[in-house]
Structure 1
């Protein structure tokens, strides 16, 4: 049975259903690339445990019959406080890759963030008509950095998101054990023009992707580099990979319009604080001077509601989008986003929240993860 036939036979009723479909159809090495984290993978588990510890305190008799999850993200309208996170090499999951996911984001009315390591060019993704933001990994080749920013602007991207937590790629043991390499038809379309790169060749004792990114990415970045990017573009500037409130304040001082509280989905520093636990302190530190988004561990609409209550303007949704892409291409991603919107809307109504502003005023309590 094909992935599409599986979806037709039993439409998913929760994101875990989509995850099961994706795992059934993906090759084990690709599944491990999507699902894996760095080191012990305890940070991935901690992300989920930290969400489970956030108990919402609902309001009653607020007159809410049906909540409205619409909001504004970076000055633009969004059907819900969600954007699709930047994720590399989506053609690993489906031939249409980022194009299918972006079309689903457009249908859902949420922004789509194009990765530097997208397997389709930023120009082609933007041409889908989705609200598109561009994620930049700062490269050793500064001229290439400048070219990528100019291309994103020319393509009509609405924001520039700079990822700052990857001076090198975290050691992802699943990929190392699998000797993971990219298939020949998948490449970083915004960067690669030759027949093959390090990402397509096996390296003993290391991930091919780690070797590739080590050669391409600039280590040792400073706030001066961020200020240079701020001066180079008029796009809203988003800094992704913030966990310490001091860094959030520095980002604001450097001209950031938003920060993303993120531990890279548990794929970078093994032992990092869960993103949702870091969120309240970061939100307090910036004091409304910039927007605050949350990334890492979001697995449904209730998690979005928790993030709003803890100070986020919205969230970036990552792995569930890849599950949907693997399970059914554009339709699979549309189902993922629809499930998130349904759960969020119901959660807001049950919590007595008419809109995102009311959700931000909810109280929370911290409880045991198993409760």
Structure 2
């Protein structure tokens, strides 16, 4: 389907974040849409990320005094105006000609932290120069470990506040929707931060060897690489893509500063649990000493409250701000953040929470055993 012209402004009938999705679909061709909207394999995890939030109920609280309330928080030694962060997404010029530069402008306008992808279509230094949004750098450990070190040094020199290592995609997931669409990067869109990196040659496999185990995974990072990075950088080191308590505990043992509970937006291993379902299990396993963030499925301010109640300190949004970006550029992406922050404040007030620290599991409604709040079907 050929893309329609962008509206040029925020469409009048957008009242919620989800309203942007159909506009974004009309503004993008089939190639870009397959990359943005698709998940791995049968896309169960992609759907569960959203459905799991809908299954969680809030317990409101009336007559609470929330005067002077706010959404401020401190993470890894820095203050943030609110807990809505922009997840790292590759190749953003697929969705708008200004790509990551427009996203950075939106982040600055709305006081949001932005995580910049290794596979950005704009140089990480150029993103850092366009504004004053707090930036974190998302790192894919490259087969060339020397080049990986260079990426870390560049991020430090450019003023990035944290290093986020994605650990759940040593090989790409089975992205059948992209395969069916014949996805490819169009001319002018490339991972510019990887220019000049030497690539390993095609492995010569002996009879009986596996292309996956002995080929594609030959240069995949391990916990040893994480230990090396811990000693390499002065930045807070955060692991993104952990869904199991065991892996989170190992991260804590290695002195990792934080974990982003994430299933990569349902794009790597299908039938992983929804991120919000994995969150409380991990929170219970590691305790409050290891800060947790959550990525995946956020579409409402009430979703943010649910994530904070279950142990997250902040949340990351991905597809929602890209829908805004595709529709109306920086203005659309900023509007998405604005909507979520306003909904977050309304939900907090109606739950009797004046500050993020007031949000805990007590604001979640738990039905009596054997009972449900769903209406009986007749």
Q: Say if 2:143 and 2:220, in contact at 8 Å, map to a contact too.
A: no
Give the deviation of 1:29 after TM superposition.
Answer: 1.8
Alignment of 1:182-221 (within 5 A): 182-192=185-195, 219-221=219-221
User: Which of residues 156, 159, 174 in structure 1 aligns to 2:159?
Assistant: 156
CA deviation vs aligned residue, 1:178-231 (integer Å, no higher than 9, x gap): 11110111000100359xx9xxxxxxxxxxxxxxxx999875422111010000
How many residues of Structure 1 are paired with residues of Structure 2 in the alignment? 353
Which residue of 1 is the match for residue 253 of structure 2? 253
Matched, 1:174 2:177: yes
Q: Say if 1:52 and 1:370, in contact at 8 Å, map to a contact too.
A: no
SS in 1 for 2:66: coil
Alpha carbons of structure 1 residues 274 and 8: separation in structure 2 relative to 1, 3 Å: closer
Q: Say if 1:245 and 1:281, in contact at 8 Å, map to a contact too.
A: yes
CA deviation vs aligned residue, 1:78-136 (integer Å, no higher than 9, x gap): 22111100000000011110111011111111110000000001111111221000000
**Which has the higher mean CA deviation after the structures are superposed, 24-33 or 114-123?**
24-33
CA RMSD of aligned residues (A): 2.3
CA deviation vs aligned residue, 1:283-304 (integer Å, no higher than 9, x gap): 1222122210000111121111
Q: Say if 1:138 and 1:217, in contact at 8 Å, map to a contact too.
A: no
Query: How many angstroms apart in 1 are the aligned matches of 2:57 and 2:330?
Result: 33
Which residue of 1 is the match for residue 39 of structure 2? 37
Alpha carbons of structure 1 residues 9 and 139: separation in structure 2 relative to 1, 3 Å: closer
Matched, 1:334 2:334: yes
User: Which of residues 113, 116, 138 in structure 1 aligns to 2:115?
Assistant: 113
Matched, 1:359 2:362: no
SS in 2 for 1:157: coil
Query: How many angstroms apart in 1 are the aligned matches of 2:60 and 2:91?
Result: 40
Alpha carbons of structure 1 residues 142 and 8: separation in structure 2 relative to 1, 3 Å: closer
Which residue of 2 is the match for residue 147 of structure 1? 150
Query: How many angstroms apart in 2 are the aligned matches of 1:370 and 1:110?
Result: 36
Query: How many angstroms apart in 2 are the aligned matches of 1:87 and 1:366?
Result: 35
Which residue of 2 is the match for residue 19 of structure 1? 21
TM-score by length of 2: 0.88
Which residue of 2 is the match for residue 243 of structure 1? 243
SS in 2 for 1:83: strand
SS in 1 for 2:320: helix
Query: How many angstroms apart in 1 are the aligned matches of 2:373 and 2:115?
Result: 31
SS in 2 for 1:162: strand
Alpha carbons of structure 1 residues 233 and 8: separation in structure 2 relative to 1, 3 Å: closer
Give the deviation of 1:74 after TM superposition.
Answer: 2.5
CA deviation vs aligned residue, 1:239-272 (integer Å, no higher than 9, x gap): 0011111111111111211100000000011110
Q: Say if 2:41 and 2:175, in contact at 8 Å, map to a contact too.
A: yes
Larger Rg: 2
Alignment of 1:64-75 (within 5 A): 64-65=66-67, 67-75=69-77
TM-score by length of 1: 0.90
Which residue of 2 is the match for residue 297 of structure 1? 297
SS in 1 for 2:57: strand
Query: How many angstroms apart in 2 are the aligned matches of 1:346 and 1:148?
Result: 40
Query: How many angstroms apart in 2 are the aligned matches of 1:8 and 1:261?
Result: 32
CA deviation vs aligned residue, 1:16-38 (integer Å, no higher than 9, x gap): 21112111111122111100000
